[in-house]
Structure 1
Amino acid sequence: MAKRQIPLFNRVLVEKIIPPYKASAGILHSEKITKWNYGEVLVGSAACDKNGNSNSMKNADTIVLSKGHATELGHGDKKSNCFYLEGSNTTSSLVQLKSYSCGPTSLKSFLWSRYLSSQAGANSSDWENDLEDGFSDLEVPPGSADSVDGSGKEDDEELISEVGELEEYDETEESSLDPGDVEGNQDGVKKGSRRPYSQLFKIITETPRRSVTSALDKYVEEGKPLRRAEISLALNNLRKRRLYSMALQFVEWLETSKKIELGEWYYASRLSLIAKVHGLWQSEKYFQKIPESFRSELIYRTLLATYAAAVNLKKAEEVFYKMRDLGFPITSFACNQLLLLYKRANPKRIAHVLQMMEKENVQPTAFTYKMLIDVKGQANDIPGIEQIVEMMNEGLEPDSQIKALVAKAYISAGLKDKAEATLKEIEGENVQENRAVCRFLLPLYAALGKADDVERIWNVCDANPHIAECIAAIEAWGNLGKIEKAEEVFEKSPKKWKSSSTYYSTMLKVYVDNKLLAKGKELVNRMAQSGCRIGPLTWDAVVKLYVDSGEVEKADSILHKVTLQYKIRPFYSSFMAVMDEYAKRGNIHNTEKIFRRLKEMGYFGRMKQYQTLLQAYVNAKIPVYGFRERMKADNMYPNKTMAAQLKDSYASQNTIISELLA
């Protein structure tokens, strides 16, 4: 009879972990990691160090092995890769790695240490199981329109790919309508207090779709400039407003008009826009048409960003590995794309990317830090966030957006005192002179329930507000349940803003969140009458409005018409709102229909849609046959929650079969 391994008091059994020769994604170097020895606790629940302090070791923890502290076990001359540690010989420095860390490769750099790649694992198991696909507020002020567009925690998009250069800021920043935020481009359009005027942008947006080509031809015939800077500015403005189909039409005109020389910047921009408008399949076809001489690092990282945005884990990793095979340098942009991808699809792999960045000497950018803070925030790992900020202070001062993310994490964790202190730090000594931070402060004070502070900050902006400040104020008053104040801000805004779908959508979301469905429908009618261009952001709010009013069939019909008639790609969250409602009702036919549409729209590799589909079968009390195999075919694997549901489903199926055969 085999002997069982029995944990002894103050002693644990550890199995040494053999580092992988190369990660499955190909992102680790081929050299084996021999710098550290570390192991996983097999048996044992706790250990005390020589001073009597508990190190709280438990099964599945990963710890550093050190000579003199660990005794190797063996059988005869054979080594077993197993060790035992006595608590009296351990120190707190040994017990530093939690369950899913690969182990640090350096103690010098905090980024690659346990704080980023491991400690969250102790707090985030439930979060991993329930992880939805979105990416919260990175590169977006909390309270900008992004927080109302469905792309926040559910469907964030990839880092923007600008004409000629892929910049690292989030495409979901609808608040870019605010003249106080301008991203430059390589042709010299500088950041400034006001967004540069683009006549091309005005022509494209104000001309009927069928007449845009002739209007652009006329623009050139009149001898007006068609320089790279002007093209970049127009495209940037179109992207910021999510007018992707217009941007693609403009880019296609650039080629057919033969007024400029096509370069890699052109192919990269068109590749990105095709993915947004027509989906991955069409973008892959276009990639094959790009001349080999133009398939530079820029083209490949654009393709990488496209797959990362679609959460297509397999193809994104293939592109990254291909880039390495071609000898392209590993850039912070490419690494950030992998971090975004793994953040959504497999958080355990984040540690691999961080290790690779250190090994290749790729410096983290502000976006990298924001992403890692967001990861820690979702896991409620406050010590981890504070360590990241401390590390940033050594070389990169945290900006207002980073501080806003930290404050939001404090609020989520219930640490109101720390949140308030952070908000005061954001304000500075004189918020009147530091007005740019108001759009960050408004929603955060609202989240703390501080109506007086919301009023105080809004008074700073009230006399001459920017659109982003108005959007933040509408959202803040809505979160506080003060609908009249939100309406007051909305109604007193300049007339020109009333043509902004973002502005309408913010107010519409307030009505939806507060169950004011009649007012919401009235606002939708006002939008239609105003001639406002309605994009995915607005349709998302409209769909949720009808779902919340119990009219899911109407919401479904709207999604269908938007896709077919207006050639718009609705947000992932729009589909999921309808799918969730069908699943609650146990309506398998319509749940499967939405699941199929998600794939047709290019929304692959997201666990949420599989969870919802499975829930539809559970609610309908219908056996689920071959669901694991179905997921495997899509390169998806059930998490713990789904695995438990499938196990229960299979058990009920066996019971039914047994009853039939009895």
Structure 2
Amino acid sequence: MVSRLLFLTFIRNGSNGGGFINGNSQSLSLFNRTSFLSRFLSSKTQTSEFLEESLNSQENDDLRSRIFRLRLPKRSATNILDRWVGEGNQITISELRQISKELRKSQRYKHALEITEWMVTHEEYELSDSDYAVRIDLMTKVFGIDAAERYFEDLPVSAKTIETCTALLHSYAGAKLIEKAEKLYERMKDSNLPLNALTHNEMMTLYMSVGHVEKVPLVIEELKRQKVVPDIFTYNLWISSCAATLNINEVRRILAEMGHDSVCNEDWVRYINLTNIYVTAGHLVNAESNSLVEADKGTTQRELITYDFLIILYAGLGNKDRIDQIWKCLRMAKQKMSSRNYICILSSYLMLGHLKEVEEVIDQWKQSTTTDFDVSACSRLVDAFADVGLTEKAHSFHILLIQKNCDPASLSK
């Protein structure tokens, strides 16, 4: 009964092409001259940009500073690059890549995309597989998944490498396009591309995000069949899929496998030891165990699923103090939380009967600037509690949602 409920804690709310044959980069030149983005991006000079640069002339006058002074997305980074070269300056491809990377970190995707487009239209720059993969990701963010898909299909065969394919797979997974992701995954396998851990992780992340936990072991089987070395995120997803169904014996077996992994390092050893404690005890008995829960605030997006896994285990163990501690750590992390994180903590507090904390989490989620409150996810959580016989908890949660002006019944109106 509980396993069916915990399964729901991982719910996130939210073409035919050429073969995949690696070749030389000569066939890219025609594509570089007639790139897809030329239909979208304009290089018209804007007087306002010139005035803005003049007003900021006292600031650092390097290429990066000029681009980052473009406050509005509608302003053109292309104009800045053209003007910089027109003044007799040189621009290296490594400099362009670094500026694009920093723009992406600042979520200035349109300007980052313009940087990569400028690289494409200047044939002196030879784009790498990673450059094309970045463009697919940026195109998804700026123009949408359809534009990214068309861009990918228009790439020459030699550019349809493991990196560009995985980038499109990532876009499909983010949009929860299961059929398209599975079709691309099969194409990649049939084309004998050298799949890596990241490719398989994308499929597992997708399955976890839509609640298809039962498909995760199938991806693991394929990963092993191809003799791909798993990374820490692979293990996190695999363990989390087992935790969702409270398959603790399988968790122990996976941890043992991790311990024998040829690339196991000190961080992995600590993770293995700590997780063994979480699985076998109702409280931590090792003083070092606090180090993971009180981890630094640089938690990555991929590591967040590990914390979901820990929250679920502690909910099963009835240890509210540790749940509180992990939730505090999650809220302090630099990375934004997903609906999955909120549903996970809500279901755990509900299962333990802590309605005050449930109310606080609802408020925190509604106030979040990075993840919109998902009424439909909460509705499914109400149904899940009712389905396993926890009708009182389901009713209490429903009442709280009504009091917070997020009644699931409004979805049907």
TM-score norm. by structure 1 comes to 0.37
**Contact 1:275–1:282 at 8 Å: present in 2 too?**
yes
Q: Residue 207 in 1 paired to residue 70 in 2?
A: yes
User: Which position in structure 1 is the counterpart of 2:196?
Assistant: 331
Partner residue in 1 for 2:110: 245
Q: Which residue is 1:131 aligned to?
A: 10
Partner of 1:373: 239
- Show the counterpart of 2:184: 319
Tell me what 1:619 maps to: 409
8 Å contact from structure 1 (residues 392, 398) kept in 2: no
Is the counterpart of residue 391 in structure 1 residue 253 in structure 2? no
**Quick one: structure 1 residues 448 and 329, their matched pair in 2 at CA, closer, same or farther if it must change by over 3 Å?**
same
Secondary structure, aligned partner of 2:77: helix
**1:324–1:396 Cα change, 3 Å:** closer
2:283 to 406, 413, 416: 416
User: Out of 211, 215, 220, which is 1:354 matched to?
Assistant: 220
* Mapped contact 1:416–1:448 kept (Cα < 8 A): no
Q: Is residue 307 from structure 1 mapped to residue 186 from structure 2 by the alignment?
A: no
Residues 312 and 477 of structure 1: CA distance in aligned 2, closer, same or farther (over 3 Å): closer
Structure having the larger proportion of residues in helix: 2
Determine the C-alpha separation between the residues in 2 that align with 1:546 and 1:396. 38
Instruction: State how far apart, in whole Å, the 1-side matches of 2:233 and 2:137 are.
Output: 20
Letter in 1 for 2:132: Y
Cα separation, 2, equivalents of 1:338 and 1:582:
26
Counterpart among 336, 357, 374 of residue 576 in structure 1 = 374
Structure 1 residue 317, shift from structure 2 partner? 0.8
After superposition, where does 1:8-407 map in structure 2 within 5 Å? 124-133=3-12, 201-209=64-72, 210-221=75-86, 224=89, 226-258=91-123, 260-345=125-210, 346-379=212-245, 383-394=249-260, 395-400=262-267, 403=270
Q: CA deviation at 1:277?
A: 2.2
CA contact (8 A) 1:376 1:384 kept: yes
* CA positional deviation for 1:265: 3.6
Displacement of 1:267 in angstroms is 2.8
CA contact (8 A) 1:271 1:287 kept: yes
Find the aligned partners of 2:155 and 2:89 in 1 and give their Cα distance: 29
Q: Is the 8 A contact 1:400 1:437 kept in 2?
A: no
| Partner AA of 2:259 in structure 1 | N
Q: How does 1:588-599 map to 2 (within 5 A)?
A: none
Aligned residue type for 1:347: V
* Partner Cα distance (1:268, 1:204) in 2: 22
1:359: Cα distance to partner? 2.0
Q: CA deviation at 1:275?
A: 1.0
Distance 1:478 1:325 in 2: 42
Residue 338 of structure 1: CA displacement? 1.6
CA distance, structure 1, for counterparts of residue 272 and residue 223 of structure 2: 23
SS of 2:284's partner is helix
Compared with structure 1, are the counterparts of its residues 440 and 402 closer, same or farther at alpha carbon in structure 2 (3 Å cutoff)?
Answer: farther
Once residues 221 and 380 of structure 2 are traced to their aligned partners in structure 1, the CA distance between those partners, rounded to angstroms, is: 41
Question: Offset of 1:132 from its aligned partner?
Answer: 1.3
Counterpart AA for 1:348: E
Higher-Rg structure is 1
Cα gap change, 1:371 to 1:223, in 2 (>3 Å): farther
Unaligned segments of structure 1, at least 5 residues: 1-121, 134-153, 156-198, 428-435, 455-471, 480-501, 506-512, 514-542, 549-554, 556-569, 585-611, 624-662
1: distance between equivalents of 2:224 and 2:364? Answer: 47
Match of 2:227, SS state, is coil
- The total of aligned residue pairs comes to 296
After TM superposition, give the deviation of residue 375 of structure 1 in Å: 3.2
Alpha-carbon distance, 1:448 to partner: 7.8
Q: Give, as a single letter, the amino acid of the residue that structure 1 aligns with 2:138.
A: L
Tell me, yes or no, if the aligned pair for 2:11 and 2:208 is still in contact at 8 Å.
Answer: no
Deviation of 1:368 (Å): 1.3
| CA shift for structure 1 position 314 | 0.4
Show the counterpart of 1:177: none
Contact kept? 2:259, 2:269, Cα under 8 Å: no
Q: Which has the higher strand share?
A: 1
* Residues 276 and 408 of structure 1: CA distance in aligned 2, closer, same or farther (over 3 Å): farther
Q: Distance in 2 between matches of 1:124 and 1:546?
A: 25
Change (3 A) 1:211 1:351: closer
Aligned alpha-carbon RMSD (Å): 4.9
Q: CA deviation at 1:321?
A: 1.3
Residues 401 and 440, structure 1, Cα contact 8 Å, conserved in 2: no
Question: How big is the shift at 1:269?
Answer: 1.8
Provide structure 2 residue ranges, at least 5 long, that are not aligned to the other structure: 15-61, 308-318, 338-344, 346-361, 382-400
Change (3 A) 1:400 1:293: closer
The Cα of 1:381 is off from its aligned counterpart by 5.0
Distance 2:272 2:87 in 1: 48
The structure-2 alpha-carbon separation of the partners of 1:392 and 1:260, relative to structure 1 and needing over 3 Å to count, comes to same
> Residues 393-542 of structure 1: matches in 2 within 5 Å?
393-394=259-260, 395-400=262-267, 403=270, 415-418=282-285, 420-423=287-290, 438-439=296-297
Deviations 1:556-584 (A, max 9, x none): xxxxxxxxxxxxxx96x31626x679999
**Aligned counterparts of 1:580 and 1:305: Cα–Cα separation in 2:** 22
Contact 2:203 2:219 in 1 (8 A): yes
Conserved in 1, the CA contact under 8 Å of 2:162 and 2:195?
no
Cα separation, partners in 2 of 1:387 and 1:325, compared to 1, 3 Å: closer
Deviation of residue 348 (structure 1)?
0.7
- TM-score normalised by L of structure 2: 0.56
Contact 1:411 1:419 in 2 (8 A): no
CA distance in 1, matches of 2:117, 2:241: 38
